[in-house]
Amino acid sequence: MSLKSALFELKEALVDREIGQSEEAFIHELENKNNLSSGTLVFYYNNLMIVSMMNKENGSQNDQGSKKVNRKWTKNEIELLFHYIKDRQDEGALNITEILEEVSHLLNRGYQSVNYKYYTLLKSQDKKQESSQKTYQFTTIKQTDIPVIAVENMKEGAPVFSAAQSKTPQDSDLLDILSGLITNVQQLPDLNLNEMLRGLYQLTNMALQNQEAVQQVETMKSTINHEKAVLQEKLRQEKKRNDELQMEVSKLAKEITAFNMLGDAAKIQNLKSYNQRLNYIIDGFGIVLQVGS
């Protein structure tokens, strides 16, 4: 058993109006039957109910002789599309073609329409991510541009450091070392001291730039990870809150469905009471929210 089996059974029950018990009990029974965690089907139940009502409305319009046109994608359909793909992939389904085919049956849409919509939205998301990412360029220097290569042109008879000169006393400070280095380099033929020092200076600058870029990259990674953790926690809280509100919305949708099934005379008789009841919805904390006028 899987999410696929549960949703197709849920859709069939909604179409045939065979939910004889309360929505909560029906959903809970269906989740247990298909080994799904509690609350998994609440999102799908509400969105499939809305899609079913829209399909019924579109069908009534077509029956009345209006010109049939391709209906626009709604927010509920797009959310169900990506939510279902993620859940099916988490179950281990790897064939995206089969998953999109399943979505087309759930939404009563053609496969080509579902396939085009999915990849269009996916491409749009990728472009947004690419434009928001910052790139850092590391500076390198070619081996042929290093001035120290000039020492290869030294003559075999050029003076070299004597043993006494190569020994650096332990108590020599940095100024003494640099002074001795400059003195020795000036005695070497075919070696430009200024060019060599300029090359060393450029190398150190490049090294500092690369180090700064690495630090910026690490800082950015740390910031992204922190923001990701905060976002995940917010999403978890929002999902919990959304599940609670979805259950309340399902009750409201049931009231609308029941009202639509009444005859004209019964609708007029109960219009005032239904209008008062549908103008308000009570959230999980007992607060009355006005949703209509």
DSSP the chain: --HHHHHHHHHHHHHHT---S-HHHHHHHHHHHTT--TTTTHHHHHHHHHHHHHHHHHHHHHHTTPPP-PPPPPHHHHHHHHHHHHHHHHHT---HHHHHHHHHHHHT--HHHHHHHHHHHHHHHHHHHHHH----------GGG-GGGGGGG--TT-----HHHH---TT--HHHHHHHHHHHHHTSTT--HHHHHHHHHHHHHHHHHHHHHHHHHHHHHHHHHHHHHHHHHHHHHHHHHHHHHHHHHHHHHHHHHHHHHS-HHHHHHHHHHHHHHHTEEE-TTS-EEE---
pLDDT above 90: residue 112: yes
pLDDT above 90: residue 130: no
Once rounded to an integer, what is the mean pLDDT over residues 56-77? 68
Per residue in 149-202, pLDDT (tens digit) is: 444 444 444 455 444 455 555 555 777 777 777 777 767 777 677 777 788 888
- Where residue 288 falls among pLDDT bands split at 50, 70, 90? low
pTM: 0.43
- Where residue 284 falls among pLDDT bands split at 50, 70, 90? very low
Which has the higher per-residue pLDDT, 95 or 170? 95
- Where residue 30 falls among pLDDT bands split at 50, 70, 90? confident
| pLDDT for residue 100 | 95
Average of per-residue pLDDT values in the chain: 76
Least confident of 93-97, 199-203, 210-214, 274-278: 274-278
